[in-house]
Amino acid sequence: MFLLSSLLVLAATARAAVLTIQSPRVTTYDDTGAGIRTEVLKLTEKPLHPMALGPTDSLKLTFQIMEDGHKEGVVKGVQPLQTFLRLYDPETKEEGIQPIRVTPAGKAKFELNMAKPPLSLPPTTTTPLQVTLIIGHPSHSPLKIELFDMVLPESHPAPQHPDEASFHLLPEIVHTFRAPQKVPPRTISALFAGVALSPWAVLLALWSQVFPGAPHLFSPSILPFITSLGAFEVLLVWYWVDLKLGHVLLYGGILSLATLFTGKTALASIGARRVGTTKSK
């Protein structure tokens, strides 16, 4: 029973303890180390005027993190798990997070030298940066305090990349098409087409006078041979359109056998017909 009561008392004490900061002070210095301005910060309100820094000035912020047990005299230093400053520009919405090292006794210090600004510093404008202290620890409620505003020199613009102009918007491309070519009348086109085809008509007419006759071309013994030769021509056209070489060789081998037998039959028929004609004479 006594042990349970002790645990309840310890739990109530831990829950009642809250984090706070003591002796928050911010000071600005010039490049010689002489103090320019010192402000003792209040937890309830920020200084009326922002802290201003020049290109070679520096700033120093000191405070101590304490655990207040709500009992008179019961105050001790705490080393939180996370302590950092948030530097926020309300105009550009840019922010930077700067971690702060805290000793086991709860003492913390942050120094800002404008001659060598930290990487966590956001791009600055003429608008003051809002400096907020954020503290987090597993056994305590988080603490967030708006300390002060700070005016820094404006950031230099980023250097222009040599290839940046290549990514800018280019003028719209407008195509100019040439006027369509004029065509001659259809009658003239037909006339010249007839002139171009007239030699073929003359050639066919003369060819019909000297073309050798084939009276038995469609006889049952010769027609299969002519058909097999035509099949070879069809096979070549088919190969040019769709077939592969392996298929052509396969089908060509089959056709060659058929052509061999039909050709032998056709030659035998022609030979027999010639022999019969010779005997009759």
CATH, residue 65 = 2.60.40
The answer to whether residue 98 is domain-embedded is yes
Is residue 2 included in any domain, yes or no? no
Q: Which of 151, 174, 192 is the last residue of a domain?
A: 151
- From 97, 125, 151, give the residue that closes a domain: 151
**Residues 145 and 36 reside in one and the same domain:** yes
> Domain for residue 196, yes or no?
no
The whole-number pLDDT of residue 44 equals 87
Residue 64 lies in a domain: yes
Pair (35, 111) in one structural domain? yes
Identify the pLDDT of residue 149.
Answer: 94
Pure H helices in 150-244: 186-210, 223-241
The confidence band for 10, taking pLDDT boundaries of 50, 70 and 90, is: very low
Res 269: pLDDT? 87
Does 32 have pLDDT greater than 50? yes
- Count Cβ neighbours within 10 Å for each residue of 16-36 and write b for 16 or more, e otherwise: ebebbbeebebbbbeeeeeee
Domain that residue 221 falls in: 214-281
Do 48 and 141 have their domain in common?
A: yes
Mean pLDDT calculated for residue range 209-233: 82
**Do 124 and 224 fall into the same domain?**
no
Do 222 and 128 fall within a single domain?
no
Cα–Cα distances (Å) from 222 to 202, 211, 258, in that order, read 31, 19, 13
Residues 143 and 232 in one domain: no
Please report the pLDDT score of residue 212 as a whole number: 64
* pLDDT at residue 9 tops 50: no
Mean of pLDDT over the chain: 85
Task: Say how many residues make up the chain.
Answer: 281
Q: Are 99 and 27 contained in the same domain?
A: yes
Helix (H) or strand (E) run with residue 108 in it: strand 107-113
Does 143 share its domain with 219?
Answer: no
Kindly state the percentage of the chain with pLDDT values over 70: 88
Q: Which of 151, 168, 194 marks a domain boundary?
A: 151
What stretches of the chain show up as alpha helix (H) in DSSP? Answer: 2-16, 186-210, 223-241, 245-280
Same domain, 252 and 138: no
Residue 180, in any domain of the structure: no
More confident residue, 216 or 37: 37
Question: Tell me, what's the pLDDT at 204?
Answer: 85
The domain tally of the chain equals 2
Domain-embedded: residue 99: yes
Q: Above pLDDT 90, what percent of the chain?
A: 44
Give residue 28's pLDDT band: very low, low, confident or very high (50, 70, 90): very high
Is pLDDT above 80 for 179?
Answer: yes
Residue 200, in any domain of the structure: no
SS3 27: strand
Q: Mean per-residue pLDDT for 99-110?
A: 93
Greater confidence (161 vs 101) lies with 101
| Residues 145 and 27 both lie in one domain | yes
Same domain, 25 and 144: yes
Does the pLDDT of residue 273 top 90, yes or no? no
Task: Tell me whether residue 198 is in a domain.
Answer: no
pLDDT in tens, 43-87: 888 998 999 999 999 999 999 999 876 555 556 888 999 999 999
**Same-domain pairing of 122 and 28:** yes
Residue 2 has pLDDT above 50, yes or no: no
